[in-house]
């Protein structure tokens, strides 16, 4: 049947070139769409499989969190968190960072110590230089959640060289870590940022507390005209905190 159709189509092309062009173009577009569809089916199947595998592995390490909260001795926690299979390292990191999101105080410190000891921090620092954009982004995010100060120089370098999307991820990570030494670098990055993103930058700077507020004040003085009107009242209100009664 395909033979017959191609015969007819060939006939059209010879007889009436313009119509022939139209048909060929249509077929090309259809193949493009079918290719997109195939990509999608494969993409979905792969990700579903991956997701299911990961949730099974994650479940295997969940008892470690219980140990942390039950204030069990540190060696037991580390033993429970040590990755057992290849590829588990990433899952354990996810589990640890997800829980560190919601914790502070002793359990947070335990998990942090464990992350350093298990080499997660080093892994992520190395991944900051990976050729894969995704790995870099995830590494930045994780370093932010782990709140490790050793990562600040690496993140600052990433801030200078990455594109816009990853710049924002790096800034968020630096804001989560909260080390004020990063503020000059963030300020420098602001010079390259389009005006529309300045309020976002300011919002992240405010996370640093008082030094952040100083940095925002400086930024506003330097680039007063660039800040969008809509954002100024809220910014001023935040900055006024330093002048409230002690």
Partner 1 sequence: MSARKKVLVFEDNASIQTLLKFFFQKRGVETRIEGDGTEAVPLVLDYHPDLILMDYIMPGKDGVETVMDLRRAGVSTPIVMLTSKAFPADRARAQQAGVTAYLTKPFDPTQLEAAVKPYLAA
Partner 2 sequence: MSDAAWSLYHWWIPRANATIEVLLVWYFFALNACYLLLSLLAFREVHRHLLRSIYGGYEQLARSPLTPAMSVIVPAHNEEVGIALTVNNLLHLDYMRYEVVVVNDGSSDRTLEELKRAFSLVPALVASNGGLKSAEVRQVYRSSRNHNLLVVDKVNGGKADALNAGLNFASHPYFCTIDADVILEPDALQRVVQSIVETDKRVIAIGGIVRVANGCRIEKGRVTGVAMSRNPLVIFQIVEYFRAFLCGRTGFSRFNGLMIISGAFGVFERALAVEAGGYRADTVGEDMDLITRLHDHMRKKGEKDYLVKFVPDPVCWTEVPTTLGVLARQRRRWQRGLLEVLSANAHMFLNPRFGAVGLVAYPLLFLFEGWGILIELVGYLFFAILLERGQVDNDVAIAFFFVAVVCGWALSLSGIVLGEMTPKRYPKLRQVFAMTAFALIENLGYRQFTSFLRLLGNIDYLAGARGWGKMERRGLLRQQVKA
Binding site for partner 1 (CB under 8 A): 65-66, 69-71, 98-99, 101-108
Distance CA 113, CA 117 (A): 6
Please tell me whether residue 227 adopts helix, strand or coil conformation: coil
- Restricted to residues 173-192, the positions that interact with partner 2 (CB under 8 A) are 175-176
Is residue 200 close enough to count as binding partner 2 by CB under 8 A? yes
CB 137 within 8 A of CB 166: yes
- The nearer residue to partner 2, 74 or 108, going by C-beta atoms, is 108
Choice from 78, 103, 116, 197 touching partner 2 (CB under 8 A): 197
Q: Which of 142, 131, 128 is nearest to 90 (CA)?
A: 142
b vs e for 103-139, b when ≥16 Cβ sit within 10 Å of the residue's Cβ? beeebbebbbebbeebebbeebbebbeeeeeeebbbb
Choice from 221, 230, 243, 244 touching partner 2 (CB under 8 A): 230
b vs e for 207-216, b when ≥16 Cβ sit within 10 Å of the residue's Cβ? ebeeebbbbb
Is residue 137 close enough to count as binding partner 2 by CB under 8 A? yes
- The nearer residue to partner 2, 82 or 203, going by C-beta atoms, is 203
- Restricted to residues 5-34, the positions that interact with partner 2 (CB under 8 A) are 8-9, 11-12, 15-16, 18-19, 22-23, 25-27, 29-30, 32-34
- Pairs from 214-223 (Cβ < 8 Å, separation ≥ 24): 215/183, 215/186, 215/187, 218/187, 219/187, 219/190, 223/190, 223/195, 223/198
Which option in partner 1, partner 2, none does residue 71 bind, with CB closer than 5 to 8 A by kind? partner 1
> For the chain, what is the radius of gyration of the CA atoms?
26
Is residue 231 close enough to count as binding partner 2 by CB under 8 A? yes
The minimum distance between CB 169 and partner 1, in angstroms, equals: 20
The minimum distance between CB 61 and partner 2, in angstroms, equals: 22
Which residue ranges make up the site for partner 2 (CB under 8 A)?
8-9, 11-12, 15-16, 18-19, 22-23, 25-27, 29-30, 32-34, 36-37, 40, 44, 101, 134, 137-138, 141, 164-165, 168-169, 172, 175-176, 193-197, 199-200, 202-204, 206-207, 228, 230-231, 234-235, 237-238
């Amino acid at each position: 049947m395909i033979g017959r159709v191609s015969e007819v189509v060939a006939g059209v092309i010879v007889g009436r070139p313009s119509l022939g062009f139209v048909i060929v173009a249509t077929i090309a577009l259809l193949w493009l769409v079918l290719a997109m569809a195939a990509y999608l089916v494969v993409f979905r199947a792969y990700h579903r499989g991956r997701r299911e595998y990961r949730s099974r592995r994650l479940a295997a390490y969940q008892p470690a969190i219980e140990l942390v909260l039950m204030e069990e001795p540190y060696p037991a926690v580390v033993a429970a968190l040590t990755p057992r299979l290849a590829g588990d390292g990433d899952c354990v990191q996810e589990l640890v960072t997800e829980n560190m999101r919601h914790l502070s105080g002793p359990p947070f410190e335990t998990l942090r110590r464990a992350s350093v000891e298990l080499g997660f921090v080093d892994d992520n620092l190395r991944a900051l230089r990976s050729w894969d954009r995704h790995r870099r982004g995830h590494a930045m995010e994780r370093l932010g959640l782990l709140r490790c100060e050793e990562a600040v120089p690496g993140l600052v370098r990433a801030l200078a060289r990455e594109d816009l999307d990853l710049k924002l991820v790096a800034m968020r990570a630096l804001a989560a870590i909260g080390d004020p030494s990063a503020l000059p670098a963030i300020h420098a990055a602001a010079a390259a940022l389009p005006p529309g993103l300045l309020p976002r930058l300011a919002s992240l700077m405010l996370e640093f507390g008082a030094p952040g507020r100083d940095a925002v004040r400086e930024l506003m003085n330097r680039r007063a005209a660039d800040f969008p009107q809509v954002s100024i009242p809220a910014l001023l209100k935040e900055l006024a905190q330093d002048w409230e009664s002690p």
